[in-house]
Structure 1
Amino acid sequence: MAFKRASKVGAFIPTSSMGDIAFLLLIFFILTVVFTNETGLVVSLPRADASEEGLRDMISNVFINEKGMISIDDMIVRPEQVAGVMSQKVAENPFMIVAFKTDKETPYGVVSDVMEGLKEANAVRVFFNTDLNLPGVAY
């Protein structure tokens, strides 16, 4: 006697709550994972030994106003005296840095004369101070 085979039962997995389960697993792993900050290399930086007074001796300030008057370290000089004054300063300190500060209305001829005097005195380490005005950046 042949038995009648029962109808095949299909395998069915409900997927309606699968999104909820995935979301709960995601929250579980977010809460249990330990977040570590990467430290990178541990570097011990040296302390600076130069004092501020020592740095002042290395810098010579050259000011030129809008009228063309020249001041070197608070001493008013004429354009033809720049080379002599700066030669003395360079002889005292060959590593001297010249901080060049001029008014924006200063005649360029005066600036050029002073730069020529600095070149004659071999004061070639010069930086120009400007009023940096970048849009959107506050100083």
Structure 2
Amino acid sequence: MKIKRKSREIQDIPLASTADIAFLLIVFYLAASSLLEFRGVEIPVPRKDAPPMQILRDNIFRVEINATGQFIHADTSTDLDTLQKSVRESFQKNPELVIVVRVDPEAPSERIPQLVRRLQDERIERISIGLDR
């Protein structure tokens, strides 16, 4: 007994809906990308011809960020909230305070913007950031 196979016609793949989907993806991408806002940390930079600042030792608040990302102030490790509170109290006592941040080159890169944002929340603009060598 022989079974006959029906020959099927090759059907075309409908491409009209593919174009619609591609159009919708492009519109979504354009709409979503216009809503994104890349916000960085704004750091004021001195002018090129500005003379070096003379700062009294009493006006310096030193903070270190070590290789593991810990904040160190007065030779003790501290978290960001405690450091912010300490900076606030010191700044209330001395409005001429300058925050000097020394960063280990191996420190996680997100720690600096976290600290700068907290300092800007306290309206502190005199910040010096340097790398340990």
Q: Please report the TM-score for the alignment, with normalisation by the length of structure 2.
A: 0.53
Listed as ranges, the gaps of 5+ residues in structure 1 are 1-49, 133-139
Aligned to 1:127: 128
Amino acid at match of 2:124: A
Tell me the distance in 2 between the aligned counterparts of 1:93 and 1:117: 18
Q: Check whether the contact 2:67–2:107 (CA below 8 A) recurs between aligned residues.
A: yes
Identity of aligned residues (%): 21
1:79 and 2:80 correspond:
yes
- Pairwise CA distance, 1:131: 5.6
Partner AA of 2:58 in structure 1: D
Residues 121 and 72 of structure 1: is their aligned pair in 2 closer, same or farther, counting only changes over 3 Å?
Answer: farther
Alpha carbon RMSD of aligned pairs, Å? 2.2
Shift, 1:77, TM fit: 1.3
Q: Tell me the equivalent position of 1:37.
A: none
- In structure 2, the gaps of 5 or more residues are 1-53
Q: Does 1:89 align with 2:87?
A: no
Other-structure match for 1:99: 100
One-letter amino acid matched to 1:89:
S
CA distance in 2, matches of 1:71, 1:123: 19
The whole-number CA distance in structure 2 between the counterparts of 1:115 and 1:81 is: 15
Whose Rg is larger? 1
Structure 2 match to 1:64:
65
CA contact (8 A) 2:104 2:132 kept: no
Q: Residue 126 of structure 1: CA displacement?
A: 0.7
Q: Distance in 2 between matches of 1:125 and 1:92?
A: 15
Q: Displacement of 1:76 after TM fit?
A: 2.2
Deviation readout 1:43-82 (Å, 9 max, x if unpaired): xxxxxxx9xxx92110011100010110123332102222
Partner letter of residue 108 of structure 2?
P
SS class of match (1:108): coil
| 1:92 CA drift (Å) | 0.8
3-state SS, counterpart of residue 113 of structure 2:
helix
Query: What's the counterpart of residue 113 of structure 1?
Result: 114
2:37 maps to: none
- Measured in 2, the distance between the counterparts of 1:99 and 1:75 equals 16
Aligned residues: 80
Letter in 2 for 1:124: E
